[in-house]
Structure 1
Amino acid sequence: MSLPASLPASLPASPSASSALPSIEALRAALSKVADPEIGANIVDLGLVYAIRADAAGVSVDLTMTSPACPMGGLIVDDARAELQRLLPPEVPVEIKVVWEPAWSPALMSPECRARLGWED
C-alpha cells in the first residue's frame, strides 16, 4: 500500500515505550485481521489505515472509510480496537480516529487488493 507523501506510514515509538509495545508492523498485522464486511477485504489492504502511532501515551490509529456514508464504519472501528486490544497489555489505551482527509480512493488499495476486486490501474 502506498500512502500520499503527506501521510507517514508510522511514527517512531518513543524509546521507553518500544520495549513494552508491539512493533508498528505487528500492530498493522493485527489491523489486517479487520475486514470491511461490505467489500470483503481487510482494512490495511483497502488502504483505510492512514497512520499508526505507538508511544508511552498508548496506541493511536488514523483510519478512513471508503465513504463518509459507510454504514459499517462503527463496526470497523470497534473491530479495529478489539484486534489491537488483543495484542496490547490491558493498561495501554487505544485511540481510533476516523479521518476524512485525504479522501479515500481505490489508488490507496494494495495492488493485490485492487486485482482481487477487479480495479484496474
Structure 2
Amino acid sequence: MAEQLKEPTKLENDVMDALSEVLDPELGIDMVNLGLIYGVTVTDGACQITMTLTTMGCPIGDILNDAITKAAESVVGITSCKIDLVWEPVWDLSRMSRYAKVALGIHE
C-alpha cells in the first residue's frame, strides 16, 4: 500500500514562506523556487528542514545555513531549527519552479 503524504501544517507552510525570502546570493533566486528545500517538519516548535545544495562543494553553504536557520526561527511558534543536508535525491534543474527557470533564462 502506498504511503500517503502528510498535508503540511500552517506552521510548516509559514516556515516555507519564510524560506522563500532566503536568496541564493550567487543566483538571486530564493531557496524554495530553486527547489533546494525538500521538506519542512515541525514538532512541538522544533523545525527540521531537509534540503540540498546545487553542488556538493557549494562555497556558500555556511551562509545559507545561517540564513535558513534565522528565517525559520523568525516564524512565531518555532523554537529551534535543525537542517538535514542531503545529497539524495540529487538536485537538478527539473526541481526549479517555472519562475526560477524564467528568471535564469532557462528554456525547456
TM-score under structure 2 length normalisation: 0.86
- Consecutive unaligned residues of structure 2, counting only runs of 5 or more, are none
Structure 1 residue aligned with 2:89: 102
Structure 2 residue aligned with 1:120: 107
Alpha-carbon RMSD: 2.0
- Give the alignment partner of residue 75 of structure 1, picking from 63, 69, 89: 63
Structure 2 residue aligned with 1:64: 52
How far the C-alpha of 1:36 sits from its partner, in A, is 0.6
Structure 1 pair 12–114 and aligned structure 2 pair: CA distance change class (3 A): closer
Structure 1 pair 88–23 and aligned structure 2 pair: CA distance change class (3 A): same
Structure 1 residue aligned with 2:40: 52
- CA-to-partner distance for each residue in 1:6-54, whole Å, 9 max, x for gaps? xx6x6655xxxxxxxx522111000011011011100000000001001
| Residues paired across the two proteins, number | 105
Secondary structure of the equivalent of 1:68? coil
Structure 2 residue aligned with 1:3: none
Aligned identity (percent) is 29
Structure 1 pair 55–81 and aligned structure 2 pair: CA distance change class (3 A): same
- CA-to-partner distance for each residue in 1:54-103, whole Å, 9 max, x for gaps? 1126110011100001101111011000011111447x221111111011
Give distance in 2, aligned partners of 1:101 and 1:23: 25
- Consecutive unaligned residues of structure 1, counting only runs of 5 or more, are 1-7, 14-21
Contact 1:50–1:63 under 8 Å retained in 2: yes
Contact 2:52–2:85 under 8 Å retained in 1: yes
Structure 1 pair 117–12 and aligned structure 2 pair: CA distance change class (3 A): closer
Secondary structure of the equivalent of 2:71? helix
Give distance in 2, aligned partners of 1:88 and 1:62: 20
Poorly superposed stretches of 4+, deviation over 6 Å: none
